[in-house]
Structure 1
């Protein structure tokens, strides 16, 4: 199973609610919020480190919750889909209230002609796309982190996903505005619904990547993109250097504009067995991929047995003629970089099946090493430095004797490593290796986190990466917006 940061190592700073005041605050909430409060120990096992759980259904419910928390100085931790990896939803043992936004999952407005929609923060990206498909709306929301991730959580962590090559990240203009309940319980909307605006500060982006430390997002307006035909191509290589080198050659060609996704699965990740798809709400996130084994096990007439090699999956997007021409160029390019096997999905159904196995093999890594725990980490470098980063990391982990699987969104220089351990000695070795990975990414002009965010897991690296002055400014913003420190304390830029 994967590591998950449950409780904070340090107690909350002096001034937070005493146990008596916390109990009083919960009593008030229970009266004001139509019994949306739970302190049931069995329920709280799924929300580690929290004293209580609240499940709001509306912005008005969140206002009530924040009003009481502010009055009693009770820490609040927003919870979206529970898929974050760096401890963003960790609680203070026995003191914090977890605000589970999953009940606020409605699509409120769809503006097909304008290419946008308005939804509550608990709506999931995949649920939104399923709804649009069912309604016959030829649009989709292209940001695609792990299944079950909510819009609020995606905003909080500044997420991206496999589509980042074509559509970028949450820090682009996919969120036109957000409605936020601030720490003093006031409600703001960051801007109007117009596609562009030059009015004032870009406050929408202030909340992207803030990890709930500045307020609780309750609604958002999302920009949508047209649904285009897609196909998938698979290329296998004898070594990972050849695979990542081929990606850059394709992206830097005129045909790179037709790529929607480029995913890497290293040779180790191919050993992960196929698993039954699980409820994504019970999973944190997993990076090993079961694509090859899944294809091998498929009953489809097109199924074939593929060796466990470093593998690229390309998703191509556009009119059929452009897709076919791009596939031909990819075939020639990967062959020049040592590709040993290439397959192009000829039908939409075959492409969808191949990609679905990639997106839903969430339990594969946990099942790969029985009895082991896994630490998942991500870094990102300028794409031209990715071959060196991946190669050096694999050699480093091999020298350390650490079992690992590496996959990545290699089109934008982002890759993930799952590091496994079975005892305390191995855990320490894994943590040290994760630290070396961050330093290696820095030396290549990269970042300690491409899409997972900071939380508690990467907080120690923030000042070294951004600089003392930059982090001081972040802390000043936090102090100005949340002087009592009740919003997700101890995360992101906070010292404690």
Structure 2
């Protein structure tokens, strides 16, 4: 485990140290059984994935209601102590680190499903509900929640990072799924944004402001979410290609032809090798697309046949159908286990995970140039992606104890991020900015970054909400 970056009450000196100690004392009095300061628990609530330093908070409060979150925030605000929202800790860019110390508000106990409105295809949940929990609860209604980032993340955290996943090409991302929010503001007020109506022209779209704000503007405690009907039929399968360029071209043609594909995922040959090892598959070790179509029996059959023709035209195939539910489940389980499959290629290494997103017309170029960059620098780095919306991930296997290897990996991530931005894309399609990608924000957003700073200053003038995230130091 990395060494702790701070101990309780010692982040800063003087008045700040006294303020933190006083706030912790108040929180322990208010939540005697749910305010913790043990080193192990604090470290668990700092960043524990990929390569960023663990920076634990000074204390952790386990909230159970929106009112308790608001009370905790008010206590912290009076003492000028930072607040860091925590869901499941599965984020990848240091979102839950506490670089200035402060109090982590753990929302995992706020896991109640409050309302399900079958007729209106929506539901209201507390922020600690996970996507698997929600889908299990609503399965018998004939509805499902489609946003699937792989990890069983909390829905509040998914909204905070504007998450997406394998189904985004058809069902959109969290910005499309969230109808309304309950948010605790930096001064401890409780506000509600949006509502259950499918559209509104009344006022600023505050829901979209908070979705993707990564806890820097407030703490999301409840969400109203859009649901979808379960499809009548699902067809899917795999299709090998001779190289990543032809696989990406097949994706572009599929989207341009308007084929309503529900999932279309790229695994390069290195990732396929890892999946064969970890998930006990027997796939040809060549760039491969995993696909899924939703609709009627006739519709999914027609869509699958049309994709087969596209693949054949580009030298890919054969497209092997997997209509049996157990076969599809096995394939998608292997896709979701891509992180562990990558690690299986070099068990003694750690993984640095990054993602970018580009316009679909630039996908083949970006993936091909990235693969060439990986080969030129001798990295072991599988590529896997939600390529239907131009989003892909790279997992670099690296020894974190080797400073030179880490530096070279950082340079690679920078080249990849700038490559995507210069192609009209973004430095992150779904992981978020956090701490890890702040340095690319000016390149991507230009003068708009000053507008973001103005919003942050207006809503959080004391910089108490998840400080040190998204916005680079000016």
- TM-score (norm. length: structure 1): 0.88
Question: How far apart are 1:31 and its partner, in Å?
Answer: 1.6
Give the direction of change, closer, same or farther, for the CA distance of 1:293–1:97 in structure 2 (3 Å limit). closer
Partner residue of 1:266 out of 268, 282, 292: 268
Partner residue of 1:430 out of 405, 409, 414: 409
Question: How far apart are 1:118 and its partner, in Å?
Answer: 0.4
Which structure 2 residues correspond to residues 364-375 of structure 1 after superposition, within 5 A?
Answer: 364-375=341-352
Q: Is the 8 A contact 1:16 1:73 kept in 2?
A: no
Q: Is the 8 A contact 2:234 2:323 kept in 1?
A: no
For residue 429 of structure 2, give the secondary structure of its aligned residue in structure 1. coil
Q: Is the 8 A contact 2:110 2:127 kept in 1?
A: yes
Partner residue of 2:79 out of 72, 76, 87: 72
Give the direction of change, closer, same or farther, for the CA distance of 1:154–1:430 in structure 2 (3 Å limit). same
Structure 2, unmatched stretches of 5+, are: 47-55
Give the direction of change, closer, same or farther, for the CA distance of 1:17–1:312 in structure 2 (3 Å limit). farther
Q: Which has the higher contact order (CA 8 A, sep 6+)?
A: 1
Question: How far apart are 1:7 and its partner, in Å?
Answer: 5.7
Counterpart in the other structure of 1:383: 360
Counterpart in the other structure of 1:104: 110
Which structure 2 residues correspond to residues 439-450 of structure 1 after superposition, within 5 A?
Answer: 439-450=418-429
Is 1:354 paired with 2:331? yes
Is 1:202 paired with 2:202? no
Q: Distance in 2 between matches of 1:343 and 1:204?
A: 42
Counterpart in the other structure of 1:470: 448
Is 1:223 paired with 2:226? yes
Q: Is the 8 A contact 1:142 1:163 kept in 2?
A: yes
Q: Distance in 1 between matches of 2:359 and 2:182?
A: 33
For residues 208-238 of structure 1, give each alpha carbon's deviation from its aligned partner in whole angstroms, at most 9, with x where no partner exists: 1110011101001001011102121200112
Give the direction of change, closer, same or farther, for the CA distance of 1:109–1:15 in structure 2 (3 Å limit). farther
Q: Is the 8 A contact 2:272 2:283 kept in 1?
A: no
Partner residue of 1:294 out of 276, 279, 296: 279
Q: Distance in 2 between matches of 1:12 and 1:160?
A: 37
Partner residue of 2:91 out of 79, 84, 87: 84
Which structure 2 residues correspond to residues 72-221 of structure 1 after superposition, within 5 A?
Answer: 72-92=79-99, 95-133=101-139, 136-172=140-176, 174-221=177-224
Comparing 328-337 and 181-190, the one that deviates more: 328-337
Question: How far apart are 1:360 and its partner, in Å?
Answer: 3.8
Is 1:486 paired with 2:464? yes
Question: How far apart are 1:494 and its partner, in Å?
Answer: 4.7
Q: Is the 8 A contact 1:266 1:407 kept in 2?
A: yes
**Superposition CA RMSD, Å:** 2.2
Q: Is the 8 A contact 1:180 1:215 kept in 2?
A: yes
Question: How far apart are 1:51 and its partner, in Å?
Answer: 1.2
Question: How far apart are 1:408 and its partner, in Å?
Answer: 0.4
Counterpart in the other structure of 1:278: none
Q: Distance in 2 between matches of 1:156 and 1:395?
A: 34
For residues 369-399 of structure 1, give each alpha carbon's deviation from its aligned partner in whole angstroms, at most 9, with x where no partner exists: 1221221111111001111111111111111
Q: Distance in 2 between matches of 1:6 and 1:308?
A: 41
Counterpart in the other structure of 1:242: 246
Comparing 11-20 and 223-232, the one that deviates more: 11-20
For residue 377 of structure 1, give the secondary structure of its aligned residue in structure 2. strand
Question: How far apart are 1:346 and its partner, in Å?
Answer: 2.9
Moved >3 Å (runs of 4+): 4-8, 11-17
Question: How far apart are 1:35 and its partner, in Å?
Answer: 2.6
Which structure 2 residues correspond to residues 324-363 of structure 1 after superposition, within 5 A?
Answer: 324-363=301-340
Give the direction of change, closer, same or farther, for the CA distance of 1:138–1:155 in structure 2 (3 Å limit). same
Q: Distance in 1 between matches of 2:207 and 2:60?
A: 27
Q: Distance in 2 between matches of 1:308 and 1:359?
A: 18
Is 1:18 paired with 2:16? yes
Q: Is the 8 A contact 1:397 1:403 kept in 2?
A: yes
Partner residue of 2:382 out of 397, 405, 408: 405
Q: Distance in 1 between matches of 2:13 and 2:449?
A: 24
How many residues align? The count is 460
For residues 24-57 of structure 1, give each alpha carbon's deviation from its aligned partner in whole angstroms, at most 9, with x where no partner exists: 2111112223531001122223123211111100
Q: Is the 8 A contact 2:355 2:394 kept in 1?
A: yes
Give the direction of change, closer, same or farther, for the CA distance of 1:85–1:128 in structure 2 (3 Å limit). same
Question: How far apart are 1:358 and its partner, in Å?
Answer: 1.8
Question: How far apart are 1:362 and its partner, in Å?
Answer: 4.2
Give the direction of change, closer, same or farther, for the CA distance of 1:493–1:16 in structure 2 (3 Å limit). farther
Q: Distance in 2 between matches of 1:15 and 1:325?
A: 67
Q: Is the 8 A contact 2:4 2:43 kept in 1?
A: no
Give the direction of change, closer, same or farther, for the CA distance of 1:338–1:270 in structure 2 (3 Å limit). same
